[in-house]
Chains A and B, each alone.
Chain A
Amino acid sequence: MASLTVRNLKKTFGSVPVLKGIDLEVKTGEFVVLVGPSGCGKSTLLAMIAGLESVTEGEIKIGERVVNMVPPKDRDIAMVFQSYALYPTMTVRGNITFGMESRGVPKPKRDEAVARVSELLRIESLLDRKPSQLSGGQRQRVAMGRALVRDPALFLFDEPLSNLDAKLRVEMRTEIKKLYQRLGKTTIYVTHDQVEAMTLASRIAVMHQGMLQQFAEPRTVYDRPANMFVASFMGSPSMNFLPAQITDSNPATVELVGNDGPPIRLPLADRAAKSGSGRQVILGIRPENLTSYDRRQVEETPYLASIEAPVEVVEPTGAETMVIVRIAGNEVIGRFEHNASPTVGEPVKLAVDMAKACLFDPETQMLI
């Protein structure tokens, strides 16, 4: 096991820059998820760590060793591919032992390793089958078995779950988490699914347009997103954005911009209030912080404000009900209890948890 250091890593394909200077410091035993929309460069970054893509500029270190010019087989890594990349003509056993055979591991040792891994992943009964005879979930297990059978410095996962159906994906996600908790190996995991990122990661690296947007614990990424991209990418439904202006500094409030009726003012929590009166901001509120109004709660909780808005759409999902309202000209989504049933067209009273609100600079889109 080892740490991973990526320093000012750049990659261009022809004249197209794909990675524009990535810095990443992964500690030994950490599970880091690279997440971002397609085309953000996350898979390229992983391929460069694996040695499958060359480095244009910058440095990759596994442990204390710079591996820029080291071929993949000598980097001491194991990788799970999105397509699983199982060798179609080999049995499951052959797939799992291929790497050890290539490295000249003697047969008794290989058999021992296969036995250990197949027990761990519960694929003992599949060992003599060909990949074409396996279901998607089983292939996924075999692909992980192939990676786990060695004891590499680094595990790399390239969107390993995206070829599975929704139910199986959730199951395998839990399974990967269990495996990680049990083995504690340094892992780099690429996904475009923010739920996978939140559930699995010790730290999340959010990427966009070849740049690292934020690299922090899941909680921080979710609660204090570094910029509006991270804020909207992480979380479903997305964070609501409302243009606003800071009005008073004592007690500080923001007034929503673009409202026809009487001004809507919301209290600001301490840390956001410091940025000064008159400043234009974007107010970011997650749907779960925009809930049905409860008078006692609002009176007792600091920074819990109320707001009234007409209901446009009601979307029950079973566990909860999404309510889309119009506030100051913006469509805003709130998360209500499953039994809440506001009437479409009628105004509804909402509670806004301003303690959890984020303020962004409209120019730079950065968190204030």
Chain B
Amino acid sequence: MADATTYDPLRTAGTWGRRAKIIVYALLTLFALVYLLPFSVVVLNSFRDLGDISRNGLIGLPHSFSLDYWVQAWCKFCVGGTCEGIQPFFYNSVAMVVPATIISTAIGAINGYILSKWRFPGSEVLFGIMTLGVFMPGQMVLLPWAQVLGFLGLTNSTPGLVLIHCVQGLSFTTLFCRNYYVNIPDDLIKAARIDGAGFWRIFRKVVLPLSPPIIIVTVIWQFTNIWNEFLFAFIFSSGTHQPITVALIALSGGGTAVHQYNVESAAVLIGALPPLLIYLFGGRYFLRGLTQGALKN
């Protein structure tokens, strides 16, 4: 029997194994290149001047180099009448994504804690219904949300979008946390109850300290999704209240002059940077959190 811990399906004996290995890695490299190509085109264009782009085509190696387009995209370019670049919209997104991520993750954790450790009659059904939200298309709830925002007076505002993303994200955050907490032994909770700890104290002192893997997963997931979200942002915000995803459209749809491909590229990259950074720094925790079976005592 092969040693389970070091088992490698490609490490078979003979030349066949080696050949298979070469083919697999060649394919993987090819796919990686295919995926990276559009990204590298955008990156390169963000440093090229317009003449270079129109002479040598959108796809091509740079013959010029300048960081100026990044500066323009950030704080000088005119979008929808104001000439402050995409900076204000970037801040709009930050003002939306940070509270929405924190609130939806926090509520998801508490929901998961209750649904796994403080079950009550019907809690499984409730969990099932909440999970349905994962599969619900956003278009379905546009009208209800329009009414709710109108009723609350939050139309076209960042708090309005925060509210939407908190509620829309609850299904996911609850699902993640509940499924993680299910693996925390019930005996820990029982022991803590006998030790005199109540609902919140058990959550803070016993459950939360065990939670970093799933909290990281949930935060990355929520941050990325809310930052990249377009539908709700597009429908429920306009003008200076737009998050960056919507502003990028406005930027490219200026309509009057020639397309400023370099500035647009830089703007797009600025818009993509936060989720990218989050994933770069948290990616390994993300995978670990998703695959880890909670804990071994």
Contacts and interface: CB of A to CB of B under 8 A. Distances in A.
Contacts of A87: 188, 191-192, 205-206
Contacts of A52: 190, 193-194
Given A87-B188, A98-B205, A72 B193 contact: yes
Contact of B197 (A73, A82, A83, A84): A73
Contacts of B3: none
Contacts of A146: 191, 195
A71 B205 CA distance: 19
A117 interface: no
B196 A89 contact: no
B210 A88 contact: yes
A83 B297 CA distance: 8
Given A81-B190, A81-B191, A73 B206 contact: no
- By Cβ-Cβ distance, the 5 closest A-B pairs, closest first, are A99-B195, A85-B187, A89-B209, A102-B196, A85-B191
B201 interface: yes
B297 A78 contact: no
B201 A79 contact: no
Nearest to A80: B191
B296 A79 contact: no
Given A89-B209, A99-B196, A81 B296 contact: no
A103 interface: yes
B185 A83 contact: yes
B295 A73 contact: no
Question: Interface on chain B toward A: helix, strand, loop, or mixed SS?
Answer: helix
Given A86-B297, A87-B192, A146-B195, 9 more contacts: A72-B193, A73-B195, A73-B196, A78-B194, A83-B187, A85-B187, A98-B192, A99-B197, A146-B191
A131 interface: yes
Q: How large is the interface on A (under 10, 10 to 19, 20 to 34, 35 or more residues)?
A: 20 to 34
Contacts of A79: 190-191, 194
A242 B190 CA distance: 46
A119 B61 CA distance: 74
16 contacts: A50-B190, A50-B194, A72-B194, A73-B196, A73-B198, A79-B190, A81-B187, A83-B297, A87-B188, A87-B192, A88-B188, A88-B295, A88-B297, A89-B209, A99-B196, A102-B195
Nearest to A73: B196
A77 interface: yes
B243 to A, nearest CB: 37
Interface in A83-125: 83-90, 98-99, 102-103
A173 B180 CA distance: 35
Interface string B254-297: 00000000000000000000000000000000000000000111
A87 B209 CA distance: 10
A146 B195 CA distance: 9
A202 B118 CA distance: 37
A89 B197 contact: no
A71 B195 CA distance: 11
A47 B190 CA distance: 9
Given A83-B297, A89-B210, A131-B297, A103 B196 contact: yes
A123 B31 CA distance: 57
A77 B191 CA distance: 11
A199 interface: no
